[in-house]
Structure 1
Amino acid sequence: MFTPATLVLLIDDDDVFRRQAFAWLELWGARVLEADSAAEGVMLAARLRPDLVLGNLWLATPGGLPLVTLLHQQQPSLPFVAVSGAGNMAEVAQALRAGASDYLIKPVGDWTAVKSRLAASLLPAGMREHKELRELASHLEFYRHRDMAATRLLRELGPSGEQHLGDWRLQCRHSTPWMVTQSVRLEDDLLLLVAEFDPLHQDTPMLMLLVAFLLNEPLRQYRSGASSPLHSPAQTLEYINQRLFEAGLTAGINLMLLRLKAHSNTLEAANGGMVGCDWLEQCNVGPVGRGSFSASPWQQYCRFPLELSLSGSHGGRIELTASRVPY
């Protein structure tokens, strides 16, 4: 909760939004600083060490880095709430991956709801995780009854064609819309998530959206140096399975995790239901979300570009190519 000692930094060139946020934050008892440019905001954050930052995703920064990335390089534990306009969920997803603790969509219609979300961002990491589980349940209930909203959001978040992630190039071709592919960089390595869903299950759009966001919190932990399941694909698979199981979701999801090691030409894998090659069968523990299990880690040498053809039990297929740009 906010106290007179809580210092919040607003970084946004939208004067109307800044005035609104400033008034509400002061009403809630916080001290507030304002900046109308990324350069000024970064300078204030370095000098005054705020407890929380609300930052506009669209502001240009010195050097061209996203604002959340620049601030987290300087202060890894600083909570950052991304502010964006409606319809920019792809940018919001990128900010969450980069370390944002939450997001706000402008214009804000209910500032009383914003108060609890900002207060949650100020909680220690362990307490924040318990709160996120409760919020997850409410989000699931929302999308369970609004599958078209979930489908539209997935369309915005879904990768298409070739993706560029630092030195990595990733190409994905899905045979059906009932597949999700997510990729994140872990230092110089690349972590891939591939999941296939049952097109006949009533909760599939909501499940796809949930899986698309499940890596956000472990990634924040990883980048802050805290203990994180992202240190191995097997731990990540167990984490995702447990989250789905705790959410009370009974639909089995075929899901594979693959970490491509940049400097050793090796891959680490954990598999929950996908098929396509012998080594995937060796580490397959069956679909995720149906109960607790221990993942079977797998490691082997590989060559880049790596080409994989994967399928699940519901008729979906994905052709995937991962390569690195030579130095």
Structure 2
Amino acid sequence: MQLTGTTLLVIDDDSAFRQNIATRLQNCGFEVLQAASAADGLQQFSAQRPELVLCNLHLAEPEGFASVLQAVSAAADASLVVIAPSTQMPQAVEALRAGAQDYLIKPMLDIAMVELVVKRTLDQSRLRIENRRIRERLEAANSELENRLQELKDDQAAGHQVQLNMLPQSPWVSGEYTFERRIIPSLYLSGDFVDYFRISDTQLAFYLADVSGHGASSAFATVLLKFMTTRLLYEQRRQGDSSPIAFLPSDVLGHINRGLISCKLGKHVTMLGGVIDETDNTLTYSIGGHLPLPLLYANGQATYLQGKGKPVGLFVDAQYENHKIDLPTAFSLVLCSDGVLDCVEGTTLRNKEAHLPAMVEKCEGNMQALLGSFGLQPGKVMPDDISLMVLSRNR
């Protein structure tokens, strides 16, 4: 039995044939409407909205069937079965091409065929309706997704612009020293960050940081790094003059370590920072779990600076050491994030780190040469964020 409310409409000017079909379908549980003309059928169709219309191909009215076909085709939730004599199968086929879903042969030798065709057509119609509704839901979901993606792109574009505005000028020359930096994000936003700035008339500071993870959350942590570093510098400058201050790299790493832990962002950072004293020509630096270590290029040789320390933002009791070296007359100091190691030959981390000094020597510590040697062309997509900073003095 069909579900209550399934309404059919039979349009045929042969009353005996129409009644025979209607009786059979009513016995199957359908609610059946009858019409002897196209005009009456169209009126009932408009008023009752049946799910299925069975219509004689050759009604007495001119264009009667065509009018019914047009009305049913325009209704999204209705189907049409054409009734035609066996001698007019070509016309029935044309009706199918024009929008009818199935056909019945007249005279009807097997009345059971009516029930079969009607149920088959209703099943197909309901499947078509369900598919259309699914497609509409998918289209609505896709539209919503596109809107969300556009919002995300807009947010990322704004975040990207914020990051660009936070980064220092490159190249930047201060006194005898030249700073250059390049950051290549694996996504639109980077978890790597580089900064360098003057802290007094005779002191220059810099750091390179690699935040765990990728994307927006890691990029947000770089904003926090900039804020915490600037705040610490401000607190130590409160005297209001430009005399040297005790801006020790270990203090900076310790300050950021406490800040990240208290913020509970679930992010940690590997970083290294340094302060150049132009008066005594020294570099004081501190390491916070960062690899590879900085490479000092001078007199044709590149050597790793020594030092170690725990990652920043993970351990409450982490302590960071300061290391102090005399700076050569002419040198380049190369700092990079571990993403650079993806661009270095070798099958293991140890192999790659062993090969890196030779690459720096070949490039003579030059930023552009290093970018070319690492294969970091503009627009190239990398598996990890990559940051590179070169500090140099050439006398």
**TM-score bracket for this pair, using the shorter chain length:** 0.3 to 0.5
Q: TM-score, normalised by structure 2?
A: 0.40
- More helix per residue: 1 or 2? 2
State the TM-score, normalized to the length of structure 1: 0.48
